[in-house]
Amino acid sequence: MSPTMIWSIILILCVIAEIITAALVSLWFVFGALAALIISFFVKSLLIQIVVFVVISVLTLIILKPMASKALRGNIVATNVDRIIGQHAIVTQTIDADTIGEVKLKSHYWRAVSRDNDTINIGEYVEILAIEGNHLIVTK
């Protein structure tokens, strides 16, 4: 099998792997395999082709990873809402296994569910364990 065919197969496999994972796992090797494939048309030395593959893969990783990671993160807006975790709130609507209740924390009302599917009655105090979507996870 010719080196050109080998680099073509490696390139195709890396592209397929990147499409399947979509986690920037083999993107760097796609560029390296493409460079090695192009070099294989002009240079017959397999050692030089492998060196080009490794160098281009490493350079692409070093140069593009920070930019790609930043682009994939998206626009995360910090709201500081996580600071309410660990605080205590009072139940204003009963929380049970089948319904989402409501708690009041510092004059703000939040939808809430019990972590253990316990029934928590109006007037009881709860501890906020987490925030999931638009409601709180609480426990007695």
Residue 54 and residue 96 in contact, taking contact as beta carbons nearer than 8 Å: no
Tell me which of 29-43, 59-73, 101-115 is least confident: 59-73
How do residues 19-60 score in pLDDT, each as one tens digit?
888 777 788 899 999 999 999 999 999 999 999 999 999 999
CB atoms within 10 A of CB 16: 11
CB atoms within 10 A of CB 92: 15
Average per-residue pLDDT in the chain? 87
Q: Give me the residues paired with residue 109 across strands.
A: 104
Q: Is the dihedral of CA 37, 39, 45, 48 positive or negative?
A: negative
CA 56 to centroid of chain Cα atoms? 26
Query: Three-state SS for 80?
Result: coil
- Whether the pLDDT of residue 71 is over 80: the answer is no
Can you list the domains of the chain with their CATH numbers? 3-73 (no CATH), 81-139 (2.40.50.140)
